[in-house]
Amino acid sequence: MAAFFELVKTEKHSAARAGVLHTPHGDVPTPVFMPVGTQATVKTLSPLELLEIGARIILSNTYHLFLRPGSSLIASFGGLHRFMAWPRPILTDSGGFQVFSLGHLGRVRDDGVSFRSHIDGSEHLFTPERVIAIQEELGADVIMAFDECTPYPSDLEYNRKALKRTHNWAQRCLAAQTRRDQALFGIVQGGMFPELRRESARFLTSLDFPGYAIGGLSVGEPKELSAKILEETVPLLPEGKPRYLMGVGSPEDLVEFVARGIDMFDCVLPTRVARNGALFTRHGRRNIGNASFKALDQPIDESCDCYTCRTFSAAYVHHLFRSEELLAYRLASIHNLRFMIRLMEEVRASILSGSFDRLREEFLASYTPTDQGVRLSQKAKWVEAQRRKA
C-alpha cells in the first residue's frame, strides 16, 4: 500500500507532528481522535451525527463483531462500511485487549488464544491467521496485528513470555495478510519495563509495518509511568510512519502525548462518561446532574460549537438527565466527542502554525484533570464491569 502516511510538519520544541493518513475511504488529518464504535455503532449516535461533529475515522472491535453478528455476514453486505453506513475510514482492533479484559474466559497459548464467548459460552480460537482473516472480511482501512496485552502490575518474566508471543504473532499476521488495501499496524508491547519496550520497538520496526501502535498502556498505571514508557518507545519508531496510542482518551493526555510524538488516539472514555453525565469543558469535567445547572440559561460550554451547546441550555440537559430521558445520553455524547475532535483540530492547526507550545501551555493551565485516585478507581470499576458482563 503506497504512500499511506504523509508527514506534513514536526514542531521545533517538541515531538508534536501534523500528518495525513491516505486511505481508500478518504484522508485523515493527524493528530486525530477516533470515536469508538465497538459493535459497528458509536453508542447513541448515528453516522450522520458523527459526520456533523467532524469524525474522520472511527474504531470498531474485531472480537465483538466476530461473535455478533459475525464477520462473514458483514462481508456478505460488502464489508463494515456498507453494513453500518459509514463512508469514512475505519480501524479495527485485533481482539488482543479483549483477551486481557475478559481473561477469565480465555487461555493464552503460543499458537493463539482459546476463549468462551461472553454471549453464549461457545468455544473459539483466535490465532494470528484467524484474526487477520476476520479483519479482511470486515474490510476496515486500518487493521491491527494480534498481540497479548499484559495486566498492570505484572512481573518481568511474564512480560518477557508475552512479548515473545506478540512478536511471533506479528510475523504470522504479516505472512497471513492477503489484502493490500488495508494498512496493518504492529503493536509495541512490553508492559511497564523500558528495556522490553525498546526491544519490542526495534523488533517490530524491522518488520516494516505501514504503522505502529503502542498497546498495554492506560491499564491502571499512573500517568507518569505511561509518559515514561512513551518517552522510551516513540523515538525508536520510524518518523515517516504513523504512531497510534491505543485506549487513551483524557483531554489532557491527548495534548501531552501529542507533544511526545503520537498521531492517533482512541478511547471509550468520552462517550462512557457522557452517559453518566460528565461533560468536558475547557476547565475540566462537569457533572451536569449538579444542582448548579438546574436553572442555568447558557450552554454547557460557551466556547463549544457542537449541536448540544448551540441549541440547548445547560438547564435543559440537566433536566433530561434528572428525568432519565434517552436524549440526555445522545446530547452529552455529541458534546464530548465534538470536544475531543475539536481539540485535535486545534492542536493540528497549532502545529502547522508553530504555536503548539502556547496552546499546550494555555490548555493545561486552564484544564483541571480528574483526580488520579478517582480516575484509577473508575478504570478498575469499568474493567470489573466488563468481566461481570461476561
Q: How far apart are CA 142 and CA 45, in angstroms?
A: 22
Contact 50, 25 (CB under 8 A): no
Q: Would the pLDDT of 1 be above 70?
A: no
pLDDT at res. 387:
54
Q: Cα(253)–Cα(246) distance, rounded to whole angstroms?
A: 12
SS3 category, 346: helix
What pTM, to 2 d.p., does this model score? 0.96
> Which cell numbers hold the place of 167?
512478536
Residue 229 clears pLDDT 70, i.e. is over it: yes
User: For residue 281, what pLDDT is reported?
Assistant: 98
pLDDT at 97: 85
Domain boundaries, the chain: 10-266, 274-366
| CA–CA dist 36, 270 (Å, integer) | 9
% of the chain at pLDDT higher than 90: 90
Nearest to 53 by CA among 349, 347, 337: 337
Tell me how far apart the alpha carbons of residues 107 and 125 are, in angstroms, rounded to a whole number.
9
Q: What is the pLDDT of residues 348-388, one digit of tens each?
A: 999 999 999 999 999 999 999 997 776 667 666 655 665 55
3-state secondary structure of 368: strand
- Of the listed ranges 36-45, 108-117, 301-310, 340-349, the one predicted with least confidence: 108-117
Q: Which residues are annotated as catalytic?
A: 93, 266
pLDDT above 90: residue 309: yes
pLDDT digits (tens, 9 = 90+) for 241-254: 999 999 999 999 99
265 or 2, which is more confident = 265
Query: Would the pLDDT of 332 be above 70?
Result: yes
Residue 325 — pLDDT band, cuts 50, 70, 90? very high
Residue 143 has pLDDT above 60, yes or no: yes
Across 131-150, average pLDDT: 97
Is the CB of residue 278 less than 8 Å from the CB of residue 311? no
pLDDT at 217: 96
Can the peptide bond before residue 69 be classed as cis, meaning omega within 30 degrees of 0?
Answer: yes
Q: What integer is the mean pLDDT of 156-174?
A: 98
Residue pair 184/176 in contact by the 8 Å Cβ criterion: no
| Predicted confidence (pLDDT) at residue 61 exceeds the cutoff of 80 | yes
Q: Is residue 102 over pLDDT 80?
A: no
* Topology given in CATH for the domain delimited by 10-266: TIM Barrel (3.20.20)
Task: Compute the average pLDDT of residues 222-241.
Answer: 97
Q: pLDDT band at residue 389, thresholds of 50, 70 and 90? A: low
DSSP string, 265-333: EE-SHHHHHHTTTEEEETTEEEETTSGGGTT--S-S-TT--SHHHHH--HHHHHHHHHTT-HHHHHHHH
